[in-house]
Chain A
Amino acid sequence: GAVVSQHPSWVICKSGTSVKIECRSLDFQATTMFWYRQFPKQSLMLMATSNEGSKATYEQGVEKDKFLINHASLTLSTLTVTSAHPEDSSFYICSASYPSGYTFGSGTRLTVV
């Protein structure tokens, strides 16, 4: 139980375009989801906390207009990287909390060319 499905697993986009990453809870309702970014050989950096039906809470230094988060239902949160640039290339991972802990998506590798 408590499975989170993240899509796509990888995406290559041109600089200046926007990319949407989806995170779905498959067998439970996720009131709260978290989005992380991970650069090669580094740790996961929390970007924002996504709450169903309300605005996301962003960590210090994360541009909310750059990384748009929508959590319109209890099973879906999306992260849109707007006007992507090569420096946005990274591994993005979502996570959802549930009564027994946290479960993570398999991640999305974004490459901006």
Chain B
Amino acid sequence: SQQGEEDPQALSIQEGENATMNCSYKTSINNLQWYRQNSGRGLVHLILIRSNEREKHSGRLRVTLDTSKKSSSLLITASRAADTASYFCGAVQGAQKLVFGQGTRLTINP
């Protein structure tokens, strides 16, 4: 990908379980953002973490950022069937350029 790797590429879990997705990036960043995409649709912004932050929470979402390892993780707690989607991390580089990782396809089984 233009930005880095995400793992896993696909994740299937049972409803109610927690889902963790990881993302690595290549260059220095201003901030890192996580997005959700339902099949064939645009992206929805989930959460942003700045380069000087290490952890951030929003509802059932928890994001961590490790700039020394150039990596981030997204945790979705108490997953629901409606969380089924693809999730992408996007690194904001330089002059506002937002580039994405490969993404994780998350499937929540009822």
Contact = CB atoms under 8 A, between A and B. Distances in A.
Interface of A: 6, 32, 34, 36, 41-46, 49, 59, 91, 93, 95, 97, 101-107, 109
A104 B43 contact: yes
Nearest to A109: B40
A6 B42 contact: yes
B1 A43 contact: yes
A45 B2 contact: yes
A43 B103 contact: yes
B102 A42 contact: yes
Contact of A46 (B35, B97, B103): B97
A44 B88 contact: yes
A106 B102 contact: no
- Looking at chain A's contact residues, the main secondary structure is strand
Contacts, number: 56
Interface string B39-63: 0111111001000000000000000
- CB-CB nearest 7 A-B residue pairs: A104-B42, A106-B42, A104-B43, A44-B100, A43-B102, A43-B103, A43-B100
Contacts of A59: 2
Contacts of B44: 104
B102 A97 contact: no
Contacts of B95: 49
Interface of B: 1-2, 33, 35, 40-45, 48, 88, 90, 95-103, 105
Given A43-B88, A46-B98, 4 more contacts: A43-B100, A43-B101, A49-B96, A109-B40
Contacts of A34: 97-98
Contacts of B98: 34, 46, 95, 97, 102
Contacts of B48: 101
Contacts of A44: 43, 88, 100
B33 A102 contact: yes
